[in-house]
Amino acid sequence: MNRNITIFDTTLRDGTQGEGISLSADDKLKIAQKLDALGVHYIEGGNPGSNSKDIEFFQRAKSLGLTAKLTAFGSTRRKNSIAEQDASLLRIIESGVPAATLVGKAWDFHVHTALQTSLEENLAMIFDSFAFLKRSGMEAMYDAEHFFDGYKNNPEYALAALRKAQEGGADWLVLCDTNGGTMPGEIHEIVSRVAQELSTPIGIHTHNDCELAVANSLAAIGAGARQVQGTINGYGERCGNANLCSIIPNLQLKLGYSCLPEEKLRALTSTARFVSEIANVHMPVGQAFVGNAAFAHKGGIHVSAIMKDSKTYEHIQPELVGNKQRILVSELAGQSNIISKAVEMGLDVNANNEKTKAIIDRIKELEHQGYQFEGADASLELLLRDAFTESVSIFTVESFKMHVEKSNGNMISEAIVKLNVGGQQVYTAAEGNGPVNALDNALRKALVQFYPQIENIHLSDYKVRVLSEKDATAAKVRVLIESTGLDNTWSTVGVSSNVIEASWEALLDSIRYALLQMDRVEIGNPPATERLGLVNH
Amino acid sequence: MNRNITIFDTTLRDGTQGEGISLSADDKLKIAQKLDALGVHYIEGGNPGSNSKDIEFFQRAKSLGLTAKLTAFGSTRRKNSIAEQDASLLRIIESGVPAATLVGKAWDFHVHTALQTSLEENLAMIFDSFAFLKRSGMEAMYDAEHFFDGYKNNPEYALAALRKAQEGGADWLVLCDTNGGTMPGEIHEIVSRVAQELSTPIGIHTHNDCELAVANSLAAIGAGARQVQGTINGYGERCGNANLCSIIPNLQLKLGYSCLPEEKLRALTSTARFVSEIANVHMPVGQAFVGNAAFAHKGGIHVSAIMKDSKTYEHIQPELVGNKQRILVSELAGQSNIISKAVEMGLDVNANNEKTKAIIDRIKELEHQGYQFEGADASLELLLRDAFTESVSIFTVESFKMHVEKSNGNMISEAIVKLNVGGQQVYTAAEGNGPVNALDNALRKALVQFYPQIENIHLSDYKVRVLSEKDATAAKVRVLIESTGLDNTWSTVGVSSNVIEASWEALLDSIRYALLQMDRVEIGNPPATERLGLVNH
């Protein structure tokens, strides 16, 4: 039997139903590119019939040149109406995507209670909708809502719904465990029956309400399904959708199926972390395969056995999914990564010399404190340059003060900074519409007289991440700032229990990095404006 | 066949191997009482041979009068030694508990590589250790480490290890998937074989490295195991142990087994949240069965169906596990969500009246500004209460000031607030380790003299989300604050381009919500301390 499994990602559609998850069109475009690089086969982008943000996404996604097929989501036509005139179906066709997924009822109880129509009309809704999409030249999949509950209540009706979709021309029949309540044994039995009864390929779409979404997806594949729908990190309504970050390695590394090209599987961890950053959802340290603790060893016995042979306590090589082993007694950042980064920058490094050891220790210490250099290349470059080259002190900070006040409904934010620029003391104050904006304004005001090129830089992204949620407002925060020059972009990081201090640190790194990109940094002799922002990294 | 399943909780032993989890002897005593009230059969308290904290726990636990059996953990005797002289086994006996669990090798590779002894000596270690414990009058269980890997590598040796434990008198043979890498199908097949070969009752102990620990536990039960070992919330090394909070309801509500008395199952959610508080680990909102979002509905279609019949989108009644349904208000949903929320709060609403229309417009306008109420129930309740009931002004804010300064490497954050509490002006200042912490401290300091119950509230989570990233530091931010009282939790939201103002807004809502939960709010006549935090919402 065919061992190739089609991966259908719905992070951008069903994933956004998760509590606290809200993605802008920009966010969605970034995630779509990352998913495409991972090698998933379908990317469900949204529901063009329900909101304008998704229409914008599909419009802009056309220029991305994705290899994966973009799919739009919608429902079967409204009851007692005509498919050709259904606004939601028309929006799908207008979106210009090659494939669509339509959800439709398969549980008789739902037809009566939620849809409030006859069983026959629901079957007609399914048939008409697929026939219309197929006449429009699209690939079309049927998400059979509550299929398993429906089958348990009335197997013949649930199968009839599938048959109608098949007759209408549906290319996939996707069996949905919409409320996540079905057990793996039931999934296996019911999918087996469907595979016997129908010739159209079968997909599986599960939810995690019983903490069984991954197992249920595997059970369906074992019974003959050949498409899995899920989301990165298992985002989704209530307890989430099936987690592709677990399903893919289980299928591919354990069960002998093929989902992604082997080398792409190594992008799994970075993809999971990227999506968690964009969605601003904290990733549980213990998340299977991709979590920071997934291959972390704490117990003394485990660690000593791991040192003898990592197979003693690791079920797979962490590198296969792009993760790495960690020994919790000492934080082990990837020393080889750091060295290769320094080599890439043209620095003279050698794993055995004292300077290299010292900077690796320093970076490990910073990571332990909560710094993350994966998303802050420019801060890492500054650290490495400071360690390996003659440090150029462009300016030093003597102090800053920040004042926020609200009275009579008026908010005031002002910042005062005192710098030393090449021996000259500069003392400036500025207002802003928030404390970080005020600090940014004051810092620029102090430096622009020496470096007019700073006018060309702007902060293009600002992210705040609370690191240890349990300590609430006394917790550490990590600030990531992305800055954009004339034609490049760089990112810097700051960490502190004080959000103002963390932002200040990232701001300083950003400006310092920009200034260091100039060929010669001489006070009173600023380099040509156009040089600034031309360095790619 | 017997459908009674024995629940073995190892939160206090294997659970503490999780990253970031550290429990004092006091913490362990509190959790043990809560586990006993839930009705688990065994509570593994720790390893008396490895640390003195666990010896103290067993000493003090004697006076708790627990119904559950306390068990101590250890290893089979050291190689080439005598069980009767083994320090670790002697500590177990001295601890005075009625039962013990000994881990021992069952994988030949581990005997060679980790233990570095002969296969025969390992079998002798198992036999001697159990024979000694049984002569000492204890109940004794064998945790067969890496049993499944061992079986796959050398089935006869893995079975021989079990036989030795059985010959030594072990009361349970617990098959451990120590590295969490085994698939459900393999578990089922191997447990079935063990059940055929050996007469001693079988237990299952799984880990979540493939996100399959729950499914693997169910597969083992289906194949004849009658004891499940796991932890509350799935705490444990790497990706965690099997999560009893999912296994128990799956076995009992879905698969027809009996684990706990039915009325005790209703304590599951409060037990899970209590353990998460004591362990100081944030519970994922989407945790199956017991999470805050496990029965939360967001999508408009789902909500309108749920209003017709909650069975349409809920796989069980949330009350069976002590959880409850929540309707999330979001841009994706419409007015039906808001109305049902108001009805849930007992407010007199009607979709057609003016007041209802006005508040729906107000909420839509706030959502447009960036507020998100799906993660901020308490802020939404305050809005609805203000709209539909006589508004109670507990205090008003006249002004606040916030000052952050860094000079000579020292950071100072201080806040000054001026409130009017029932006609009395209160003017306080406080420091903090960051601006929000300083504001929180100043606000509490101003109010605690009137409402001493505020001492019992703490901020349990703080999230910052930058809404329009392209505007960088001038962008709007949304702050979500989660607060925890004696036994409940509520969330509030603030939005501003100024992170300080947004935090302040969410802080004020949090305190106002807490104060409104009291029966009577009268200045100078604060209600009984114990009322605060006792209201469920």
SS3 track for B308-367: HCHHHCCCCCHHHHCCCCEECCCCCCCHHHHHHHHHHCCCCCCCCCHHHHHHHHHHHHHH
Distance CA A498, CA B414 (A): 12
Look at residue A155 and tell me whether its pLDDT is greater than 90.
yes
SS3 track for A476-529: CEEEEEEEECCCCEEEEEEEECCHHHHHHHHHHHHHHHHHHCCCCCCCCCCCCH
Burial class of residue A117 (count of CB atoms within 10 Å of its CB; 0-12, 13-18, 19+): middle
Distance CA B521, CA B450 (A): 10
Distance CA A512, CA A396 (A): 10
Whether chain A has a CB inside 8 Å of the CB on B466: the answer is: yes
pLDDT above 90 as % of chain B:
59
Query: If you count DSSP H runs as helices and E runs as strands, how many of each does chain B have, helices first?
Result: 18, 16
- Which token pair is B69? 């059996």
What pLDDT does residue A524 have? Answer: 38
Q: How many CB atoms lie within 10 A of CB A520?
A: 9
Residue B115's closest chain A neighbor by CA? A305
With CB atoms and an 8 Å threshold, state whether B498 touches A114.
Answer: no
CB A69 within 8 A of CB A35: no
With CB atoms and an 8 Å threshold, state whether A470 touches B501.
Answer: no
A459-463, B149-153, B358-362: segment of lowest average pLDDT? A459-463
Q: A-chain residues within 8 Å CB-CB of B208?
A: 286, 288
How far apart are the CA of B96 and the nearest CA of chain A, in angstroms?
A: 25
Look at residue B210 and tell me whether its pLDDT is greater than 60.
yes
Distance CA A174, CA A176 (A): 6
Residue A184's closest chain B neighbor by CA? B215
- Nearest partner of A50 among A14, A99, A7, A8, judged by Cα: A14
With CB atoms and an 8 Å threshold, state whether B293 touches A238.
Answer: yes
Residue A481's closest chain B neighbor by CA? B472
CB B35 within 8 A of CB B2: no
* Tens of pLDDT, residues B484-498: 886 678 889 999 888
CB B162 within 8 A of CB B106: yes
Mean pLDDT throughout B58-71?
96
With CB atoms and an 8 Å threshold, state whether B183 touches A437.
Answer: no
CA A351 to chain centre: 33
Distance CA B153, CA A475 (A): 47
Mean pLDDT throughout A504-528?
68
Distance CA B139, CA B93 (A): 11
Mapped onto helix, strand or coil, the DSSP state of residue A388 is helix
Distance CA A215, CA A18 (A): 20
CB B145 within 8 A of CB B106: yes
Q: How many CB atoms lie within 10 A of CB A156?
A: 8
Look at residue B522 and tell me whether its pLDDT is greater than 60.
no
With CB atoms and an 8 Å threshold, state whether A309 touches B404.
Answer: no
Domains along the sequence of chain B with CATH: 6-279 (3.20.20.70), 296-385 (no CATH), 396-531 (3.30.160.270)
Distance CA A312, CA A309 (A): 6
Residue B497's closest chain A neighbor by CA? A434
What pLDDT does residue A300 have? Answer: 52
Whether chain A has a CB inside 8 Å of the CB on B246: the answer is: yes
DSSP B247-286: HHHIIIIIS--B-S-HHHHTTHHHHHHHHHHHHT-PPPTT
Distance CA B118, CA B121 (A): 5
Residue linked to tokens 């499914």: B215
Considering chain A, what is the average pLDDT of its residues?
Answer: 87
With CB atoms and an 8 Å threshold, state whether B499 touches A403.
Answer: no
Mapped onto helix, strand or coil, the DSSP state of residue B14 is helix
Identity (one letter) of the amino acid at B243? N
Identity (one letter) of the amino acid at B442? A
Whether chain B has a CB inside 8 Å of the CB on A404: the answer is: yes
Point out the residue among A298, A437, A498 whose CB comes nearest to the CB of B237.
A298
* Tens of pLDDT, residues B411-440: 899 999 999 998 899 999 999 988 888 999
Look at residue B472 and tell me whether its pLDDT is greater than 60.
no
CA B322 to chain centre: 14
For residues A241 and B379, the model is more confident at: A241
- Residue B202's H or E segment, with its range, is strand B202-206
Residue A465's closest chain B neighbor by CA? B464
CB B186 within 8 A of CB B219: no
What pLDDT does residue A303 have? Answer: 61
Look at residue A465 and tell me whether its pLDDT is greater than 80.
no
What pLDDT does residue A215 have? Answer: 98
With CB atoms and an 8 Å threshold, state whether B214 touches A210.
Answer: yes
CB B327 within 8 A of CB B343: no
Considering chain B, what is the average pLDDT of its residues?
Answer: 87
Q: A with B: how many residue pairs have Cβ under 8 Å apart?
A: 362
CB B279 within 8 A of CB B263: no
- Nearest partner of A102 among A151, A144, A41, judged by Cα: A144
Look at residue B122 and tell me whether its pLDDT is greater than 50.
yes
Burial class of residue B160 (count of CB atoms within 10 Å of its CB; 0-12, 13-18, 19+): middle
CA distances from B45 to A287, B34, B95, B273 (A): 26, 13, 11, 20
CB A233 within 8 A of CB A271: no
- Nearest partner of B524 among B449, B467, B456, B474, judged by Cα: B449
For residues A257 and A333, the model is more confident at: A257
Query: If you count DSSP H runs as helices and E runs as strands, how many of each does chain A have, helices first?
Result: 18, 16
* Tens of pLDDT, residues A419-444: 999 889 999 999 998 888 899 999 99
* Tens of pLDDT, residues B233-266: 999 999 999 999 999 999 999 999 999 998 999 9
> B377-388 and B335-344 are packed helices; what angle lies between their axes, rounded to 10 degrees?
80
- Nearest partner of B330 among B371, B295, B383, judged by Cα: B371
Distance CA A239, CA B243 (A): 14
- Residue B439's H or E segment, with its range, is helix B435-447
Q: A-chain residues within 8 Å CB-CB of B400?
A: 405-407
What pLDDT does residue A528 have? Answer: 33
pTM value surpassing 0.90 = no
What pLDDT does residue B376 have? Answer: 82
Distance CA B315, CA A515 (A): 59
* Tens of pLDDT, residues A97-140: 999 999 999 999 999 998 999 999 999 999 999 999 999 999 99
Point out the residue among B18, B463, B498 whose CB comes nearest to the CB of A434.
B498
> Which residue of A499, A508, A511 is the best one to mutate when testing the B interface, meaning the one whose CB has the most B CBs within 10 A?
A499
What pLDDT does residue A136 have? Answer: 96
CA distances from A194 to A91, A150, A158, A173 (A): 31, 13, 10, 10
Mean pLDDT throughout B519-529?
38
SS3 track for B379-397: HHHHHHHHHHCCCCCCCEE
What pLDDT does residue B124 have? Answer: 98
* Tens of pLDDT, residues B66-104: 999 999 999 999 999 999 999 999 999 999 999 999 999
> What residues form DSSP beta bridges with A406?
A411, B400
Mapped onto helix, strand or coil, the DSSP state of residue B437 is helix
Most confidently modeled of A230-239, A286-295, B306-315?
A230-239
For residues B476 and B304, the model is more confident at: B476
- Which token pair is A157? 């009706």
Burial class of residue B367 (count of CB atoms within 10 Å of its CB; 0-12, 13-18, 19+): middle
Q: A-chain residues within 8 Å CB-CB of B459?
A: 472-473
Q: A-chain residues within 8 Å CB-CB of B497?
A: 433-434, 437
> Which residue of B116, B315, B398 is the best one to mutate when testing the A interface, meaning the one whose CB has the most A CBs within 10 A?
B315
- Which token pair is B310? 């909650």
> What residues form DSSP beta bridges with B231?
B243
Q: B-chain residues within 8 Å CB-CB of A411?
A: 496, 498, 501
Vertex B239: Cα angle to B38 and B274 (nearest 5): 30
- Nearest partner of B375 among B462, B280, B300, judged by Cα: B462
- Nearest partner of B48 among B59, B40, B38, judged by Cα: B59
CB A144 within 8 A of CB A158: yes
Residue linked to tokens 């199926």: A257
- Nearest partner of A440 among A501, A366, A504, judged by Cα: A504
Point out the residue among B305, B433, B472 whose CB comes nearest to the CB of A462.
B472
